[in-house]
Structure 1
Amino acid sequence: MLVIVSDLLTDLDTLYQGLDRLRFGGHEVLIMQILDHDEMDLPFDGPTVFKDLEGDEELFAEPEASGSPTGPRWTNSSRACGRRAEPGATTTPDS
């Protein structure tokens, strides 16, 4: 069994390709999405620069313009990940 703990804030097509390869190789995969409340609510005022802690990338964004990540686009993305799960798997949102 392979356990992946990630924020899953990545390109979903690339993620699915990797997961498909692991499952094809006979691995059982458990994915746990971990998000900080600030990543979900974006409580930032005005334009903000986000710095990648794992690399050198920086992203300039205006959270008010991009909408709430808990809105439809974010929810649809999370549901898409859940639909790719193995039959019988469950997905549980953070409460």
Structure 2
Amino acid sequence: MACNSIITTAAVYKEYQAKLANVAGSEKAVSILKDALYVLGAGSSDFLQNYYVNPWLNRVYTPDQYSSYLIGIFSCFIKLLCIGILIQLNLSRSSLLKLDSE
């Protein structure tokens, strides 16, 4: 359930990157993404609205276990985001090197 939302979020981010490249051009898009401020939010509602509303969750997990589970999910998302940024930076370096060699 939560893993799907991470995958969906990553897919939406990738789709945004493609749209940005179409509008601004590849080089400018890479620059925008590289210099962007990324804000990630996780709040009490992520815990409260899921753990206490869903009877299955509070039977399967203790509050501490569910908190750890959410932290793991958020950590995974941050890692995916960082990997995506590193890939973009690498791609921009590759394309710049190609331009320099031509």
> Could you state the TM-score of these two structures normalised by the residue count of structure 1?
0.40
> Could you state the TM-score of these two structures normalised by the residue count of structure 2?
0.38
Which structure carries more helix by proportion? 2
Which structure carries more strand by proportion? 1
Higher relative contact order (CA 8 A, sep 6+): 2
